[in-house]
Amino acid sequence: MTDAARAEPASTAKIFGYFSPLTLLVYLVMPHGYLLDFATSYMLKDQLHASVTEVSTFRLLTAIPVYLSVLFGLTRDLWSPLGLRDRGYFLIFAPITAAVFAWMAYTKLTYTGLFIGMFLVMFFWRFVAAGQWALIALVGQEKLMSGRLSALWNIIASVPYIAGALASGWIAEHLPPHQTFIMMAVLSMLMFAFGFWKPKAVFDHAYDKPQAKGADLIGDIKRLLKHRAVYPAVLIMFMFQFAPGSNTPLQFYLTNKLHASDAIYTDYYAIFALAFIPMFFLYAWLCKRYTLRTLLWVGTIITVPQMIPLALVSTAQQALWLALPIGMMGGIAAGAYYDLAMRSCPPGLQGALMMMVDGMYMLSYRGGDILGAQIYASSPEHGFLYCALATTAVYALILPVILLIPKDLIATTDGEANPELERQTLVEIASSSPA
C-alpha cells in the first residue's frame, strides 16, 4: 500500500472526527430541533396555558429566520468574521446565543419574553448553522466525499432529534424553565470552545481552492440564480419534506382515531428517526460503489409509498411496529438528497445553497403540516388516508425532477474524480472574476 493510500483513510477519519461533534453541538442547540422545540411547547401549554393556536403561531413566527436562511448563508459566503471564516461564526455567535439563553433563564417566564428570546436564539444560531453547513459542503466538494459526509451529517443530526423526542417530556416534568435555558447556554458555550479547534485535515488550504472562490454580493447572487443545479436540489428537498400526513395529522390520527396516549406520538417519532440511522450507514457504503444518479432513482422509488402502510393500521401498536420499516424506506433518499445538495453548490456559495435547502426544509415542513391539518379535518373517517395519498403523490413527483439535474453532476460515485465538473467550476470562477 502506498503512502497516499494509507493517508486517505487516516485523513477521512480525522474529517469525520471533526464534523461529528460539530454537527452534534449545532443540532443540540438548534432552536427548532425536537429538544428545545418540544421543551418550549410544554412551557407554553403547561405553564403559560397557551391555546393550540397560540402554540402553533409561536412556532410559525419564531421560525421566520429559518425561512430566510439563504440570507445567513450569503452573509457567510461574503463575510469572514475575525478573519477566521467559518470558525469566526462559531466564536462570535455561539456566546451571543448563550447570553440570550442566560437572559431567558433569569427573567420571568411570559409568552412575550419567551417569544422574543426564542426569536433571538433562532436568529443568532442561524449564523452558526451557516458556518457548519457551508464548511461541510465545501469539504465534501473538495475532498470528493459529499456522499459520506451526507451520511455522517444525517447520522449525527438524528441523535438530538431522537433524544429530544424521548427526553422532552422528562425535561418538562423535572427541569424548570430556567434550568432548561441554563443547560442550553452551557451547550452554546461548548460550541464557542469548539471554534478554537482547527484540524489540518479539514482546514488546510480549504479556502484557497477553486470551490471556495466567490465574487461580490451582486456577482454571487447572479451566479446563484444562473447555476442550473441549484433549482432541482432545492425543489427536491422541498418536496421530500412536504409530507401532509406526517406531523399534526399523525398526532391526531394516533391519539383520536386509534385512541393512543400522547406518549405514543413521540415514541413513534423516536423509532422513526432511529430507523434512518442504519440506512445512512448503508448509504455511506453504497455511495462509493454506485453513482449518485442511481441512488437518487432507487432511493426515491423506495420512498414513494412510505406513508401508505400507516393509513391501513387499526391500532397504535401496529403504527409503532411500522415506524421502523417506514423510517428505513426514507433513508437512502435522504442521504442522496443531501449528497446532491452538497454537489450542487456553486463555487464560493456553499453557505447560500445549503442554507437555502435548510430554509426550504423548514418552510415545507410547516406548510405541509398546515395543508395536512386541513385535509385531515375535511373527513373525520378518511382524513389520514387522504393525507397519506397526498404525500405519496408529492413523493412520486420527485422522479421527473431528477431528470432536471445536470447529468455531469450525478454521473460519478463518491470519491471519483469528475474532470468535466472541475472544468465547469474553473470556467464559472473565471467568468465571475473582475476583468
Share of the chain above pLDDT 70, in %: 94
On the CB side of 231, CA atoms within 13 Å amount to: 10
Task: Look over the chain and give the mean of its residue pLDDT values, rounded to a whole number.
Answer: 88
Q: What is the pLDDT of residue 432?
A: 66
Q: What is the pLDDT of residue 163?
A: 77
Q: What is the pLDDT of residue 210?
A: 84
> What gap in Å lies between CA 255 and CA 383, rounded to an integer?
14
Is pLDDT at 196 greater than 80 in this prediction? yes
Mean pLDDT to the nearest integer, 96-112? 95
Q: What is the pLDDT of residue 112?
A: 93
Of 205-219, 353-367, 369-383, give the lowest mean pLDDT range. Answer: 369-383
Question: pLDDT class for 434, splitting at 50, 70, 90?
Answer: low
Q: What is the pLDDT of residue 2?
A: 44
Is pLDDT at 4 greater than 80 in this prediction? no
Instruction: Name the region of 82 (left: φ>0; alpha: ψ -120 to 50; beta: rest).
Output: left
Extract the C-alpha cell encoding 416: 471519483
- For the chain, how far is it from start to end, CA to CA, in angstroms? 46
DSSP 328-395: HHTHHHHHHHHHHHHHHPPTT-HHHHHHHHHHHHHHHHHHHHHHHHHHHHH-TTTHHHHHHHHHHHHH
pLDDT digits (tens, 9 = 90+) for 109-148: 999 999 999 999 999 999 999 999 999 999 999 999 999 9
Mean pLDDT to the nearest integer, 73-90? 95
Of 194-198, 241-245, 282-286, give the lowest mean pLDDT range. Answer: 241-245
Mean pLDDT to the nearest integer, 403-418? 94
Q: Under a CB-based contact definition with an 8 Å cutoff, are residues 316 and 254 in contact?
A: yes
pTM equals 0.89
Is pLDDT at 355 greater than 90 in this prediction? yes
Mean pLDDT to the nearest integer, 35-47? 80
Q: What is the pLDDT of residue 3?
A: 46
Mean pLDDT to the nearest integer, 194-221? 89
Q: CB-based contacts of 352: which residues, under 8 Å, 6+ apart?
A: 70, 73, 74, 76, 77, 220, 224, 346
Of 307-321, 322-336, 340-354, 387-401, give the lowest mean pLDDT range. Answer: 307-321
pLDDT digits (tens, 9 = 90+) for 259-302: 777 667 778 878 888 899 999 999 999 999 999 999 999 999 99
Is pLDDT at 371 greater than 90 in this prediction? no
Domains of the chain, with CATH numbers?
20-197+216-429 (1.20.1250.20)
pLDDT digits (tens, 9 = 90+) for 298-316: 999 999 999 898 888 888 8
Helix (H) or strand (E) holding 432: helix 419-432
